[in-house]
Structure 1
Amino acid sequence: MSKTVIISGGMLDEGFAEKVLEANPEAYIIAVDKGLEYLYNHKIEPQYIVGDFDSIDPKVIDYYRKETNIPIREYNPVKDATDTEIALRLGITLGSKEMILLGATGGRIDHLWANVQTLSVACDAGVNACILDEKNKIWVTNKSCVLKKSEAYGPYLSVFSLEGEIYDFSLEGTKWPLNHHDLMPCDSLTVSNQFVDDEVKISFVNGRIVIMETKD
């Protein structure tokens, strides 16, 4: 199992979710709490169901408990991790090398920020994971990288420090390049840049950064 799609309980454009699942027919599907409702309504079978089930329609989770043999991992709402983090860690344990998180944006900002931080868990495990919606692709890396303009999710590129000061940070191939800058968590300098060259090079020597590829 090389790829996992996690369906979380945030805002989910059903047409967009359908396209992602159709493009990844071999992906393992983990349903997270209210995200299970989308799969139930579209008769899509997940491989795992996780959550405390405090936000899902009770009839939906009852159906899976009584009518299917799909593994369900149920947690007390009073716990030390979000349902999405639990699902992501499960994907890592199952051997996934790539993960797409749907339904991880929209609604409460605290939930969105927790989901962004959770991407660090995948990053540290060497797993490529991203949050995806119609306008945004969000991912975390602890290594310098090269982005291809032809593969960009959108024309805009924003970069943020996820943990303290990022030393010797450089951007090449963007509308506003940056050379050997010490990127601070409070910096807005690297918001809404744009791809110019065929390749954009991002380099730094420590820590983790959040990369957001976006479109209007």
Structure 2
Amino acid sequence: MKFAIVTGGKINDKYVSGILKNEKFDQIIAVDSGLDFFKRTNIKPNVIIGDFDSVDKDSKKYFDSKENIKWITLNPVKDDTDTEHAIHYAIDSGASYISLFGATGGRIDHLLANISLLGIGLEKNIPIIMQDSKNKVFMLKDAKNFKIKNTKANNEDKKHFISLIPYTAEVKNVTLSGFKYPLHNYNMGGFNALGISNEIIGDFGIISFDKGILIVVEAID
């Protein structure tokens, strides 16, 4: 099943509402102040999760009156974030694919934590894609011939960048083909910006590596 999670970071209402309306999601989850987005756009989530310490009171009151919404109220004193709880809820509910919105912008500590949460998908073998109007972020582990489509044709006036950032201390034998800056059996380590702003030169870019975890960012600029 395909799940969408909207949490409380920076949200481009037009972009996110367009995806929620046009793509077929089995469940849509609002997380804490992400509920404000749903009130602004008049979209009804299936599930609302949070400790509600940052949501607008009018948004909460508005959806209190709606039927067929599952509410999960969390203790504000806890070891996980509302977003992490929502991801685990989605997986426990049968999600096979998760789109995560509202996870960028705002506080950098929340952004870094949300990127780390993508690893939950690796552990469960469930794709989790964090996205906003300019970026898609996901993790790859021990990838073999992973293809990324060149979307430049759909955005002729914009550039499509692919950035690769090691999440583990080393990512072994990285091979990139179909990219402007190829690599062959290269061991990528941290503390450098080698993998930033690559470009796909054909229809697809192909990523392979033997061991490790990469953060992959598809960015439009």
**Fold agreement, TM-score > 0.5:** yes
Q: Which residue is 1:168 aligned to? A: 173
CA apart distance, 1:84: 0.9
- Give the 3-state SS of the residue equivalent to 1:12 in structure 2: coil
1:140 and 2:145 are equivalent in the alignment: no
Verify the 8 A CA contact 1:152 1:213 in the aligned structure 2.
no
- Give the 3-state SS of the residue equivalent to 2:215 in structure 1: strand
CA apart distance, 1:79: 1.1
> What CA distance in whole angstroms lies between the structure 2 residues aligned with 1:194 and 1:151?
10
- Summarize the Cα distance change of 1:139–1:77 in structure 2 as closer, same or farther, 3 Å threshold: same
- Give the 3-state SS of the residue equivalent to 2:63 in structure 1: helix
Verify the 8 A CA contact 2:17 2:41 in the aligned structure 1.
no
Verify the 8 A CA contact 2:4 2:25 in the aligned structure 1.
no
5+ residue gaps, structure 1, are: none
User: Please, what TM-score do these two structures have when normalized by structure 2?
Assistant: 0.91
Q: Percent identity?
A: 34
> What CA distance in whole angstroms lies between the structure 2 residues aligned with 1:97 and 1:67?
27
CA apart distance, 1:198: 2.0
Q: What RMSD, in angstroms, separates the aligned Cα atoms of the two structures?
A: 1.8
Q: Which residue is 1:21 aligned to? A: 20
1:1-216 residue pairs with structure 2 within 5 A? 2-65=1-64, 67-144=66-143, 145-150=146-151, 155-216=160-221
CA apart distance, 1:138: 0.4
- Summarize the Cα distance change of 1:152–1:6 in structure 2 as closer, same or farther, 3 Å threshold: farther
Verify the 8 A CA contact 1:6 1:99 in the aligned structure 2.
yes
> What CA distance in whole angstroms lies between the structure 2 residues aligned with 1:195 and 1:152?
11
What whole-Å deviation, never above 9, does each CA across 1:171-194 have from its counterpart, x for those lacking one? 111111111111112231010000
- Summarize the Cα distance change of 1:214–1:39 in structure 2 as closer, same or farther, 3 Å threshold: same
- Summarize the Cα distance change of 1:30–1:211 in structure 2 as closer, same or farther, 3 Å threshold: same
Number of residue pairs the alignment of both structures matches: 215
